[in-house]
């Protein structure tokens, strides 16, 4: 795509949410809207945006950070009373066909996590909110 040096192609170097968003756009996948959160503690302030994203039919949210190197994908948000909130986290490293959803939960591949402990308070995060908004995708789905 031209955003990396020539030696990057064929390497095993990681890409982040910004690059994933560029790939989605380049290869005609779902649109990826980026949201930068300077500190993990600030994710509490993004919960309404995430909730609206999912309520409006938005797809998985890719999550990448600097100090928090654990890849995550968010699949949902549950807002409770007061400041109580949970995110449905999927570990994107899972591969294979699970026998049932309970198997995924028991192995820790997916589960509801308290937003106050699911993220490193001092790490920055990039969120890539995916959605099927392009005319090309709408035509393919229709």
The CA angle 140-97-33, to the nearest 5 degrees, is: 45
- Residue 105 is given by DSSP the state H
How far is the CA of 87 from the CAs of 2, 16, 34, in angstroms?
35, 20, 18
Tell me the C-alpha distance between 45 and 85, whole Å: 11
pLDDT at 9 over 90: no
Tell me the C-alpha distance between 72 and 56, whole Å: 21
pLDDT at 86 over 70: yes
Taking the CB of residue 102, how many other CB atoms lie within 10 A of it?
9
Per-residue pLDDT tens for 30-62?
A: 888 899 998 888 888 899 999 999 999 999 999
pLDDT at 96 over 60: yes
Q: What is the percent of the chain with per-residue pLDDT over 90, rounded to a whole number? A: 31
In this structure, CATH architecture of domain 17-131: Alpha-Beta Complex (3.90)
Stated pTM of the model: 0.80
Average pLDDT, the chain: 84
């Amino acid at each position: 795509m031209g955003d990396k040096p020539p030696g990057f192609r064929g390497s095993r170097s990681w890409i982040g949410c910004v690059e994933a968003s560029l790939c989605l756009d380049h290869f005609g996948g779902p649109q990826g809207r980026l949201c930068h959160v300077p500190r993990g503690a600030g994710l509490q302030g993004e919960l309404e945006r995430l909730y609206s994203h999912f309520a409006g039919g938005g797809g998985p949210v890719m999550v990448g950070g600097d100090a928090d190197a654990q890849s995550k994908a968010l699949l949902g948000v549950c807002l409770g009373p007061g400041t109580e909130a949970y995110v449905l986290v999927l570990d994107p490293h899972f591969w294979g066909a699970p026998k049932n959803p309970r198997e995924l939960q028991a192995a820790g591949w997916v589960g509801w996590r308290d937003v106050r402990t699911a993220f490193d308070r001092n790490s920055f995060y990039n969120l890539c909110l995916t959605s099927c908004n392009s005319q090309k995708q709408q035509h393919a789905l229709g």
